[in-house]
Structure formats: C-alpha cells, structure tokens
C-alpha cells in the first residue's frame, strides 16, 4: 500500500509493441498488497506477457474469486474487462462468460484457498470441461487475506511464521489438473520471471484449459525458512524440467542447440514453443509419466517447475459442445428466435 | 562489475545532477524544497553560503545546472532552478542570524584584492570572517565589476547589486575604489601576505575591416558601450542599429539599443543561428522584443559617406563540412548584402589584458598571454599571488568567478597557516534516512507532471520605455510552489543493502522507470545491454549491489530515477532506503586546514 499513485513518467527508451503500447500501458491501478508479496510479481509477469504478445487490452477478460491473489486483477490490465466473483466461484463465472463470448481471452486468477479449499469442485469441473482459458493459481500455502491460516496446498509439516505446523496432507493442483485432463499444465515461481513470462505467453496462446500453478510467497505470514512456500525454500528445491526459451511463429529455427536438448511444440495457431530440456528424460507430452515424475520428486522434497504437460490438439469446450461460431452478442433476432417451426423440429428430436 | 562504493562522496554527488554541474556545487534540491515550504530565508541562506550572490545569480546566472537537470531526461524541460533562486532572494526575511560574525581581533594577515568583481568579492566574503584584513582595489567608483558595469539594469536592477555587494563590504572590507593598480611589482613591495587578482577580461575584440577608422564615430565596442550606458554617459543611439556578434554581450547590446532609441535593431551573426554562443533564453528574450537575428553573414566593410556611417556590407556564406567533420564557412557566391544603419555595436568577443603586470615579476604567462594558474588551487607561479574569475582562464561567468573565489580563499587561508595549498579539504557529506513511517517520507515523494512554468514578464510597451525597468517580474508564491514541486529530489538517494534483500522483485515491479534489475554479474558494457530498460546514457552510473543469496547482483541505472521512493516503499525488508545526501563544499576556515 502506498500513498502516491505510480508516476506517469516512464523510461524514454521503453520498447513499444506492435500496437504502439509500452508495458506501462498494460498496468492497472497501484497495488494495495503487502510490500514484497509474490502476487505483485505475478501481476508484473502478466503485464509483460500481454505486452510482448501485443494483445489489445479490450479483448481480455480477467476473472477472479476472493483473496489477496484474487484482488490482483485490479493491479494489471486496467483497460480490460474484469469480474470479481464470490469466493471459489471464479471457474463457473468464467465458464459462463466464455460460453457467451468465445472471442475474448480469458484469464482466471485465483488463490490456493480460492481454488483448492472452497472452490475445489469448481476448479475440477472447469478443468475437465476444457474451457479455453488461462487459469493461474497464485499459491502461497495460506489464506493471506484472512491472516495466514494454512490452505489445502500447504505441505504436511510446513511451518507458518508464528510456528503453527500443518498436519493435513496437501492437495497438489498440478497433479489434479493433469488427472482431470488439462491440456496445458505448468508450474513456476513468482521470483523467476524468466521462467514465468514465457509460460504465461504460451498458456495464452494455447487453446483449451491451460493451468499454471505459481508458487508465490506470502511475505506477511508464510515466508519463514521452515515454510515450503518461502523464497528460500523454493530457490533451494526448484527442479526445473525445462526452460521455455522463446516462442516464434512457424519459421526457421535459428538458435543452435546440441541434438536432443531441444523440444519443439507447435500450437494450434502455428506458434512454436521451444523448450530447452533440463531434465533429459522428461517428456512433456506424456501425461502418465509426468504424473509419476511429479509424485517422485515431491516425495523427495523437490518442487518441479517448467512446462509439465502439453497436448497440442486437445480442443476446447466449444468444440466438444459444437456451439455456434459467433459470440452470442453478435447473433441477431433470427438466430436467437428461429421460430415455431424450428422449435417443433427440436422437440420432435427428443420424443 | 565491482559493487559501488557509496562512501565515495563523488558517487551520490553525481546523482544530484544540478549540484554536480554547478561550479560552486550549490545544494539545489535542498533549497528548492525550502522554497516549496515558503521557507525563503533558509533557502536564501543555503544559496548565500554557496554562491554568494543569490539575488544577482537568480536573475543572471548562466545556469549550467539546468541543462544537466534530470527532468530534461524524463520529460522536456529542466526545473527553473535559477529563477527559483530569485524567489528566495526576493522574499527572504531577516537574514541577520545567518551572517557570519566578524572578529574584532584581526589575525594579522593582509590580503590585497585587485578588482571588485564577483571573484574578489567571494574571496573577501570567505576570508573576512576569519579575521583577515582584506583590501579591495578597483579602478571603478563602485564595487561589483561587470555585474554592475556590463549587465544591463533591465536584467539586473542596481538595487540588487548594491545590496549584495554591500553585504560583503559590510563585513569590514576596506575598499579602495577609483584606484587602478598600475603595477603589480609596486603592489608586491607593500608586503601583502597574499594578492588575489580578480581583474576580469576587460577588452572587447576589434573588427578591423575597411571603413572602421573612417566611420569610427558611430562604431562602438560592445562592452565599452554597455559600461558607458551603465554609468549614464550614453543615453541614446541611432534609429537603425546593427549588432555584430552572437554571444550574450550581443544580446545585451541589442536589447539596450531598443531602450535607447533603436527602433530597427538587427543582430547579425557569421555562423548559423543554432551555433550562436548566446543562451537559448537570451535569444528568445531578444526576439521577443522585436529584434531579428540574421545568420550566415560575414561583415566585410563599414560603408560611410565621408566618414558618416551608412551601413555594413555582408558576404553571404554557408556551412560546409570537410571529411574530418570540421565546419567551414564558405561564400555562397551571391551578391553582398548591404544593411543600412546609423550605429554599429561590435560584440564579437572579449579578451584578457594585463598591461599592469610586469612580465619579470615572477608570474609565468603562456603563449596566449594568459597567466599560468593551477585550476585547483588558483595559485600562479608566484606562490602568494592567486588568480580567479575571468582573469584566470578567460571570460566565463559569475558563478565560475564565485567558484574560483572559494578555492582561492582556501588556498590563501592554507598558505597563511603554513600549509600545503595542494592538499585540498574533502567536502562535508551526510547521508540520513528519510523514513518517517511505512509509507511516509520526510520529503514530498509524489511526482509532479506539470511542465515548466514561464516567468511572468512586464508588458513589453512598458519594459522598452526605460532601460532601468526590470523585464522579468519573477514567480509569485503559487508559481514558485508549483515549479519547485517539479524538482525530483535527486539528493534523496536510493541506498541498497544486499544483505537484507530477499530478491522478491517488488522494487523491480513497482519502479516506474525500469531502473532496477537483478541479474548475473558481468562487465559494464555487457551489463548495460541486459537491464530492464537499456542503459545507454554512459554519463550516468550503474549502482551495483552485491551480497545477494542467489549470487546475482542488483544493478540500478541512475539515469532516469525519479527518486519517488516506491522501491523503498515496496521493499518488505528495508533493503532499500531513501537517504538524504547533503554535500557541502568545505570553505576557507579551520575545516579546510589539516592542523
Ligand atoms: C555584456 C556582458 C553581460 C554578461 N552577462 C552575464 C550574465 O548574465 N551572467 C553571468 O554569469 N555572467 C555574465 N557576464 C560575465 C560576467 O560579468 C563575468 O564573467 C564576471 O563578472 C567576471 O567576474 P570577475 O570577478 O572575474 O571580474 P569582473 O566582473 O570583470 O570585475 C573585474 C573588476 O576589476 C577591475 N579591474 C581590472 N583591472 C584592474 C586593475 N588593474 N586595478 C584595479 N581594478 C581593476 C575592473 O574595473 C572590474 O571592476 C557578462 C559579461 C558581459 C561583458
Ligand atoms: C464464502 C466465503 N468464505 C470465506 C471467506 C473468507 N475468506 C476470504 S479470503 C479467504 C482465503 C483466501 O485464500 P487464497 O485464495 O489462498 O488467497 P490469498 O489471500 O492467500 O492470496 C477466505 C477464507 C469469504 N470471503 N467468503
Ligand atoms: S497477506 Fe500475504 S498474500 Fe496477502 S498481500 Fe500480504 S503478503 Fe501477499
Ligand atoms: S530534478 Fe531537482 S534535484 Fe534533480 S537535477 Fe533537476 S533541479 Fe536538481
Ligand atoms: S526511487 Fe526507486 S522506484 Fe522510484 S524511480 Fe528511482 S529506483 Fe525507481
Ligand atoms: Mg493463498
């Protein structure tokens, strides 16, 4: 929380994107979160990603639930659509919005409490339906907004600032997303924008349910050394399986890599993800072995990060339901009320 | 890169761009904050301490600080540092508590000051309170040097000059006005402990072209003419006037002419308008008074009718660049241009002249006829003779004369105490946290988006009527406040402590100017290319912090930092702090001595 508004002045040599914007044009109002909160870094990564992709801000909808993490959409993309829903209910509002207007880019922002505690059911169904969205969980292992109670993602044995020890088994949202059929699954860390920004960009370009679990230390309640969601712990136990170095359209491959160290993923829109392998045997296209790897490393106390799973041509909810191509607000009276004859035909089909 | 040593006083001093650029190193942001609080007397005192002539400089300074001002790099125009100084001088209250006490008991050392311009006056101001017996000689009838004799009253009212000269003379300086020193040799036989030469650069450059002698009655050397105007010996000029030259003297000549009957006054310069030596604002002021400036015209002849000047003939030239990039003026081949006039003012440069210094007195001169003077100590090759102001290195300006005066005073004080004058005293430096609460600072850290405020002018019809009417009205309280708020407080430094940093990126994310980067170390050239925003201004340092847990470094590009303090507000651990860096030049007195 600061008393002054962020100055309008900016660096005179800031890069501008294809739309003529600088990254400052993708900011929102000034954050009211605690100084040093990991969530603010994730906001900065989202800003950077949308700037680099040159997205028109008015074509983005940001939706969230309740929590410090769910407050963050106010602090980025000030020119985009926004919806602050009820605690844990972001997924169903997002699903509805997406069904009504498939032309927008949907950015669901949630917390570990919002998604793994009260909203666990919503999370699960939204993922398994394959809603075309980016679903980001800003995961700090606590309910930050209500002063630091453990959330369902806190590891067993992890200690909070005041010394309380978590005795429950953790929910791993990444494991759940894999099991529930998400077609893009990643984990990252708020303190590593080099890794996070390309992942967010790839997730935005992915068609289908893209889920990113971002470990995001709560400096107020859960950043002590004995917490497994602290800056120090994550830095010491980070097991990055790959590094998404850059994305290009379907063009010539320029950079030189040793054979076998590079993984290329072509997305539905033709964009190519260039993954530099860090764990040589990790295959981000194999859902089952990814799940196994995750379990093994977690048991060893490691935090696996990177692009963990991607399925290029999975499709999304609109394809599965064979919905109309146009957003509903673009349909005219004739399409919306096709008349008695059409209704009769429809009813007859259900007799 | 090596971590930055912020204990080196130069490091943070450079960040305060204006103070670094000021020859006298006036603590600019410190006085600007006081002006915003309407604490004019204290703001005046800071100026008086550093630059001795706040009222004069607040109207006339060459302002090397302004082009250096950070505001130029983040917006368009600098803070009006100079005119804010005038606000302090014009609105000050009782200043007596700030004046030094002059000891009744003198220290027995006698100092002769040749010339009563700003350089000598500064030496006197610094030394008199220490008990020195200062005797100031000037051929003129009053003190002030060119500040009084050259700068026209419509820019600098005589009352302001009187006030600021008297304030120094009243410290017990013995003045010998009307006494021109005709021989340094003779002066030296009088047994002074030190002699300071602040005699200026008194000679105007001649223009020897056909017709000069014949039409001499209506051809005047600019600086001689201006001083005659100052003394009241001249009070009119012809209807059509040509001013030759493109420096500040030319600007004063043409504007003075407009007030003494010149209706068609034209400035003519040899080279291009852009390359003119005059400050941008002086050119603007002249053009505002209806004075055209013609360029690329070289005078070749004064035309006359039996000795009565009729005009000036000019050759048309253009600029051409040779393969080394040097500019040459070459004739265009077009016919000469004849401009008719009644009077010509020649303002094409100023020169030094030391006819009164015998060449065998022990002072070495170089081949351009200038004395050899040490730029740090102001000492000549005769150990007890010092030079300063325009006499030392050729014509400059008032603030340089002041800066020289301070240094010479230190040297004289050390010499008289048997110390090595080359052993210069370090500056006084303090660095103090400005934190008042979690988000509260003891300075106003909000950033003003306002553009530079214009100084209100007197209506031109009134201004041109009388050469003694000051043109600028100065800022009122409200404008002064708004202008002061544009200052970015560059002396409130961002101080980084890597041991406290948890690398959460909060400062990187909030910084409105993309100043901060955490990255792998490298050499400077490499680092500058991989920061959050390109660091291409090589005159501005990178602040490097180390001791980070990940082994990376913190690199902050000082170039466009707004000193808004948001990095420190967002830091959860206090690794960043906003600390006020006060840099004060040490002046003559016990603090400058080593014993
Ligand atoms: C037309 C004009 C306009 C200017 N405008 C500005 C301006 O706006 N801002 C600015 O900063 N600067 C300006 N300057 C420059 C500035 O006036 C000088 O740089 C400054 O005054 C130099 O100070 P000084 O102490 O070296 O000597 P000066 O001010 O030149 O004083 C020297 C004094 O020494 C006396 N003297 C010389 N020889 C002897 C001797 N042998 N015995 C006794 N007395 C002697 C002279 O009579 C004179 O009074 C201007 C100059 C000119 C010519
Ligand atoms: C229906 C309902 N139940 C409980 C709450 C209280 N509440 C507010 S935020 C929150 C937890 C938020 O935790 P998380 O999503 O992890 O966000 P964080 O603050 O940690 O970022 C809870 C339980 C609420 N607002 N609404
Ligand atoms: S309480 Fe925790 S999660 Fe909430 S703003 Fe503060 S640091 Fe961030
Ligand atoms: S902004 Fe203020 S402190 Fe900074 S250089 Fe300009 S006048 Fe000086
Ligand atoms: S004070 Fe800090 S946040 Fe503000 S511009 Fe400077 S480095 Fe950036
Ligand atoms: Mg949480």
Q: Is B512 on the interface with A (CB under 8 A)?
A: yes
| Whether residue A218 has its Cβ less than 6 Å from ligand 3 | yes
Instruction: Identify the closest residue of chain A to B511 by CA–CA distance.
Output: A6
| Whether residue A44 has its Cβ less than 6 Å from ligand 3 | no
Q: In this structure, are B180 and B115 located in the same domain?
A: yes
Mean pLDDT of chain B: 97
Tell me chain A's radius of gyration from C-alpha atoms.
21
- Which residue's structure tokens are 């919806």? A83
Instruction: Please name the residue whose Cα sits nearest to atom 2 of ligand 5.
Output: B567
Q: Is A219 on the interface with B (CB under 8 A)?
A: yes
| Whether residue A140 has its Cβ less than 6 Å from ligand 2 | yes
Instruction: Identify the closest residue of chain B to A193 by CA–CA distance.
Output: B505
Mutate which of A36, A40, A144, A229 to disrupt the B interface (most B C-beta within 10 Å)? Answer: A36
Q: Please count the other Cβ atoms lying within 10 Å of the Cβ belonging to residue B281.
A: 13
Query: Sheet containing B293-294: which strands, arranged edge to edge?
Result: B219-221, B343-346, B240-244, B264-268, B293-294
What is the distance in angstroms between the Cα of A215 and the nearest Cα belonging to chain B?
12
B504 to A4: CB separation less than 8 angstroms, yes or no: no
* B536 inside domain: yes
* B392 inside domain: yes
B503 to A231: CB separation less than 8 angstroms, yes or no: yes
Give me the residue from B533, B549, B573 closest to A13, CB to CB: B533
CA separation for the pair B331, B324 (Å, rounded): 20
B445 to A4: CB separation less than 8 angstroms, yes or no: yes
Give me the residue from A3, A13, A34 closest to B572, CB to CB: A34
Mean pLDDT of chain A: 93
* B72 inside domain: no
Predicted local confidence at residue A340, as pLDDT = 95
In this prediction, the residues of chain B whose per-residue pLDDT falls under 70 are 595
Q: Is A43 on the interface with B (CB under 8 A)?
A: yes
Instruction: Please name the residue whose Cα sits nearest to atom 6 of ligand 3.
Output: A34
Contact call for residues B475 and B566 (beta carbons, < 8 A): no
- For chain B, counts of helices (H) and of strands (E): 22, 24
Contact call for residues A138 and A72 (beta carbons, < 8 A): yes
In ligand 1, the atom with minimum distance to the C-alpha of B391 is 26
Q: Is A2 on the interface with B (CB under 8 A)?
A: yes
Q: Give the residue from B362, B391, B416 where a domain finishes.
A: B416
Instruction: Please name the residue whose Cα sits nearest to atom 1 of ligand 5.
Output: B563
Q: Is A236 on the interface with B (CB under 8 A)?
A: no
Mutation to probe ligand 5, out of B16, B73, B563 (largest number of atoms < 8 A from CB): B563
B75 to A37: CB separation less than 8 angstroms, yes or no: no
What is the distance in angstroms between the Cα of B565 and the nearest Cα belonging to chain A?
10
* Higher-confidence position of A251 and A25: A25
Predicted local confidence at residue A277, as pLDDT = 82
Q: In this structure, are B521 and B582 located in the same domain?
A: yes
| Whether residue B137 has its Cβ less than 6 Å from ligand 1 | yes
Domain A23-321 has CATH 3.20.20.140: no
Q: In this structure, are B572 and B506 located in the same domain?
A: yes
Q: In this structure, are B223 and B213 located in the same domain?
A: yes
Q: In this structure, are B401 and B303 located in the same domain?
A: no
Question: Is ipTM > 0.85 here?
Answer: yes
Q: Is A188 on the interface with B (CB under 8 A)?
A: no
Residues B6-38 have pLDDT tens digits of 999 999 999 999 999 999 999 999 999 999 999
Residue B266 tokens, joined: 């034209």
Q: Is A16 on the interface with B (CB under 8 A)?
A: no
Q: In this structure, are B316 and B384 located in the same domain?
A: no
Predicted local confidence at residue A258, as pLDDT = 64
Give me the residue from B440, B562, B569 closest to A35, CB to CB: B569
- Do the bridges between strand A142-143 and strand A133-139 make them parallel or antiparallel, or are there none, so unpaired? unpaired
CA separation for the pair B364, B549 (Å, rounded): 60
* B181 inside domain: yes
Q: In this structure, are B560 and B491 located in the same domain?
A: yes
Give me the residue from A7, A13, A235 closest to B550, CB to CB: A235
Give me the residue from A7, A43, A235 closest to B512, CB to CB: A7
* Domain interval for residue B148: 110-202+352-416
Predicted local confidence at residue A248, as pLDDT = 63
| Whether residue A304 has its Cβ less than 6 Å from ligand 2 | no
Q: What CATH number is attached to the domain comprising B255?
A: 3.50.50.60
Give the count of domains, chain B: 3
* B319 inside domain: yes
* B67 inside domain: no
Residue B340 tokens, joined: 């008719």
Mutation to probe ligand 4, out of B50, B70, B77 (largest number of atoms < 8 A from CB): B70
Query: How far is ligand 1, taken at its centre, from the CA of residue A165, in Å?
Result: 79
Q: In this structure, are B449 and B587 located in the same domain?
A: yes
Residue B544 tokens, joined: 């490097």
User: With helix as H, strand as E and coil as C, how does chain A read?
Assistant: CCCCCCCCCCCCCCCCCCCCCCHHHHECCCCCCCCCCHHHHHHHHHHHHHHHCCCCHHHEEEEECCCHHHHHHHHECCCCEEEECCCCCHHHHHHHHHHHCCCCEEEEEEEHHHHHHCCHHHHHHHHHCCCCEEEEEEECCEECCCCCEECCCCCCCCECCCCCECCCCCCCHHHHHHHCCCCEEEEEECCCHHHHHHHHHHHHHCCCEEEEEEECCCCCCCCCCCCCCCHHHHHHHEEECEEEEEEECCCCCCCCCCCCCEEEEECCCCCEEEEEECCCCCCCCCHHHHHHHHHHHHHCCCEEEEEEEECCCCCCHHHHHCCCCCCHHHCCHHHHCCCHHHHHHHHHHCC
Instruction: Identify the closest residue of chain A to B567 by CA–CA distance.
Output: A35
* B34 inside domain: no
Residues of A in contact with B513 (CB under 8 A): 9-11
Helix B81-91 to helix B28-36 angle (10° resolution) is 60
Q: Give the residue from B360, B394, B416 where a domain finishes.
A: B416
Segment A33-49 shows an average pLDDT of 97
| Whether residue A33 has its Cβ less than 6 Å from ligand 3 | yes
| Whether residue B202 has its Cβ less than 6 Å from ligand 1 | yes
Give me the residue from A1, A3, A40 closest to B506, CB to CB: A40
Q: Give the residue from B350, B377, B396 where a domain finishes.
A: B350
In ligand 4, the atom with minimum distance to the C-alpha of B491 is 3
What is the distance in angstroms between the Cα of A12 and the nearest Cα belonging to chain B?
6
| Whether residue A139 has its Cβ less than 6 Å from ligand 2 | no
Angle B292-B293-B294 from CA coordinates, rounded to 5°: 115
pLDDT band, very low/low/confident/very high, at A249 (cuts 50, 70, 90): low
Query: How far is ligand 6, taken at its centre, from the CA of residue A218, in Å?
Result: 8
B504 to A38: CB separation less than 8 angstroms, yes or no: yes
Q: In this structure, are B320 and B225 located in the same domain?
A: yes
Segment A219-237 shows an average pLDDT of 95
pLDDT band, very low/low/confident/very high, at A89 (cuts 50, 70, 90): very high
Q: In this structure, are B454 and B592 located in the same domain?
A: yes
| Whether residue B200 has its Cβ less than 6 Å from ligand 1 | yes
A44 to B505: CB separation less than 8 angstroms, yes or no: yes
pLDDT band, very low/low/confident/very high, at A255 (cuts 50, 70, 90): low
Q: In this structure, are B218 and B302 located in the same domain?
A: yes
Predicted local confidence at residue B474, as pLDDT = 98
pLDDT band, very low/low/confident/very high, at A272 (cuts 50, 70, 90): confident
Give me the residue from A9, A36, A191 closest to B562, CB to CB: A9
Query: How far is ligand 1, taken at its centre, from the CA of residue B146, in Å?
Result: 3
Query: How far is ligand 4, taken at its centre, from the CA of residue B71, in Å?
Result: 7
The residues with which B584 forms a beta bridge, in sequence order, are B428
Output DSSP code: residue B446.
Answer: P
Residues of A in contact with B438 (CB under 8 A): 1
Residue B213 tokens, joined: 């002698």
Q: In this structure, are B361 and B303 located in the same domain?
A: no
pLDDT band, very low/low/confident/very high, at A276 (cuts 50, 70, 90): confident
Instruction: Give the closest ligand to the alpha carbon of residue B490.
Output: 4
Query: How far is ligand 6, taken at its centre, from the CA of residue A142, in Å?
Result: 4
| Whether residue A290 has its Cβ less than 6 Å from ligand 3 | no
* B273 inside domain: yes
Q: What is the per-residue DSSP string for B509-520?
A: HH-TT--EEEE-
Instruction: Please name the residue whose Cα sits nearest to atom 1 of ligand 3.
Output: A144
Predicted local confidence at residue A251, as pLDDT = 55
């Amino acid at each position: 929380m600061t008393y002054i508004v962020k100055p309008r002045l900016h660096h005179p040599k800031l890069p501008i994107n294809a739309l003529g914007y600088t990254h400052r044009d993708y900011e929102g109002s000034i954050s009211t979160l605690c100084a040093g909160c990991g969530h603010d870094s994730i906001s900065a990564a989202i800003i950077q990603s949308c700037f680099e992709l040159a997205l028109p801000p008015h074509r983005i909808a940001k939706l969230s639930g309740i929590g410090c993490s769910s407050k963050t959409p106010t602090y980025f993309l000030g020119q985009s659509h926004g919806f602050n829903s009820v605690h844990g209910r972001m997924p169903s509002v997002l699903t509805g919005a997406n069904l009504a207007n498939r032309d927008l880019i949907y950015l669901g922002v949630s917390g570990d409490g919002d998604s793994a505690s009260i909203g666990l059911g919503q999370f699960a169904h939204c993922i398994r339906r394959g809603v075309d969205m980016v679903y980001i969980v800003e995961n700090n292992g606590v309910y930050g907004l209500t002063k630091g109670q453990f959330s369902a993602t806190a590891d067993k044995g992890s200690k909070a600032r005041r010394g309380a020890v978590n005795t429950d088994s953790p929910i791993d949202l990444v494991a759940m997303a894999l099991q529930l059929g998400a077609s893009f699954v990643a984990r990252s860390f708020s303190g590593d924008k080099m890794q996070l920004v390309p992942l967010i960009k790839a997730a935005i370009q992915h068609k289908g349910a893209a889920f990113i679990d971002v470990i995001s230390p709560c400096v107020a309640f859960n950043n002590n050394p004995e917490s497994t969601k602290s800056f120090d712990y994550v830095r010491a136990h980070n097991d990055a399986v790959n590094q998404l170095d850059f994305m290009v359209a379907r063009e010539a491959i320029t950079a030189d890599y040793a054979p076998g160290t590079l993984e290329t993923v072509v997305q539905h829109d033709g964009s190519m993800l260039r993954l530099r392998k860090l764990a040589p045997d990790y295959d981000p296209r194999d859902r089952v072995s990814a799940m196994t790897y995750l379990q093994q490393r977690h048991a060893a106390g490691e935090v696996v990060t990177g692009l963990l799973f991607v399925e290029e041509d999975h499709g999304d909810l609109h394809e599965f339901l064979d919905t109309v191509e146009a957003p509903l607000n673009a349909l005219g009276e004739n399409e919306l009320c096709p008349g008695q004859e059409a209704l009769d035909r429809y009813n007859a089909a259900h007799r | 890169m090596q971590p930055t040593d912020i204990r080196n006083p130069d490091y943070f001093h450079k960040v305060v761009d204006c103070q670094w650029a000021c020859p006298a190193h006036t603590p600019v942001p410190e006085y600007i904050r006081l002006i915003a609080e309407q604490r004019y007397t204290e703001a005046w005192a800071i100026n008086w301490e550093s630059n001795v002539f706040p009222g004069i400089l607040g109207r006339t300074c060459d302002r090397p600080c302004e082009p250096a001002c950070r505001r130029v790099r983040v917006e368009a125009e600098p803070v009006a540092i100079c005119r804010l100084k005038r606000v302090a001088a014009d609105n000050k209250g009782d200043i007596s508590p700030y004046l030094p006490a002059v000891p009744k008991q003198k220290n027995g050392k006698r100092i002769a000051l040749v010339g009563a311009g700003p350089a000598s006056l500064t030496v006197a101001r610094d030394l008199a309170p220490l008990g020195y017996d200062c005797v100031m000689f000037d051929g003129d009838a009053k003190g002030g040097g060119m500040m009084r004799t050259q700068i026209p009253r419509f820019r600098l009212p005589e009352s302001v000059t009187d006030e600021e000269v008297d304030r120094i003379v009243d410290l017990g300086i013995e003045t010998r006005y009307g006494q021109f020193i005709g021989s340094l040799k003779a002066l030296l036989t009088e047994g002074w402990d030190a002699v300071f030469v602040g005699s200026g650069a008194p000679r105007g450059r001649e223009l020897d072209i056909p017709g000069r002698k014949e039409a001499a009655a209506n051809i005047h050397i600019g600086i001689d003419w201006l001083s005659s105007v100052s003394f009241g010996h001249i009070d009119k000029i012809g209807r059509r006037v040509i001013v030759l030259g493109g420096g500040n003297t030319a600007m004063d000549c043409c504007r003075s002419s407009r007030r003494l009957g010149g209706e068609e006054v034209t400035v003519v310069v040899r080279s291009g308008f852009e390359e003119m030596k005059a400050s941008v604002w002086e050119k603007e002021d002249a053009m505002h008074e209806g004075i055209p400036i013609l360029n690329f015209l070289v005078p070749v002849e004064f035309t006359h009718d039996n000795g009565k000047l009729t005009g000036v003939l000019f050759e048309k030239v253009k600029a051409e660049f040779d393969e080394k990039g040097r500019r040459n003026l070459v004739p265009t081949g077009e016919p000469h241009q004849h401009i008719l006039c009644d009077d010509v003012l020649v303002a094409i440069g100023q020169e030094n002249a030391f006819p009164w210094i015998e060449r065998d007195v022990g002072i070495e001169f170089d081949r351009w006829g200038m004395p050899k003077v040490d730029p740090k100590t102001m000492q000549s090759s005769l150990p007890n003779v010092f030079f300063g102001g325009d006499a030392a290195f050729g014509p400059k300006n008032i603030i340089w004369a002041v800066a020289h005066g301070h240094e010479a005073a230190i040297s004289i004080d050390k010499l008289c105490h048997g110390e090595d004058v080359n052993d210069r005293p370090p500056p006084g430096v303090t660095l103090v946290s400005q934190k008042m609460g979690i988000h509260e600072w003891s300075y106003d850290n909000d950033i003003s988006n306002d553009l530079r405020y214009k100084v209100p002018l007197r209506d031109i019809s009134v201004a041109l009527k009388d050469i003694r009417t000051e043109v600028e009205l100065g800022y009122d309280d409200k404008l002064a406040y708004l202008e002061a708020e544009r200052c970015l407080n560059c002396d409130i430094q961002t101080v980084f402590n890597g041991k406290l940093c948890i690398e959460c990126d909060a400062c990187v994310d909030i910084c409105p100017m993309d100043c901060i980067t955490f990255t792998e170390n490298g050499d400077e050239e490499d680092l500058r290319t991989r920061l959050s925003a390109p660091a291409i201004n090589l005159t501005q340092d990178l602040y490097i912090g180390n001791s980070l847990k990940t082994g990376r470094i913190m690199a902050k590009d000082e170039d466009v930092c707004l000193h808004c303090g948001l990095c420190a507000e967002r830091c959860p651990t206090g690794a960043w702090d906003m600390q006020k860096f006060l840099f004060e030049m040490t002046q003559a007195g016990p603090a400058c001595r080593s014993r």
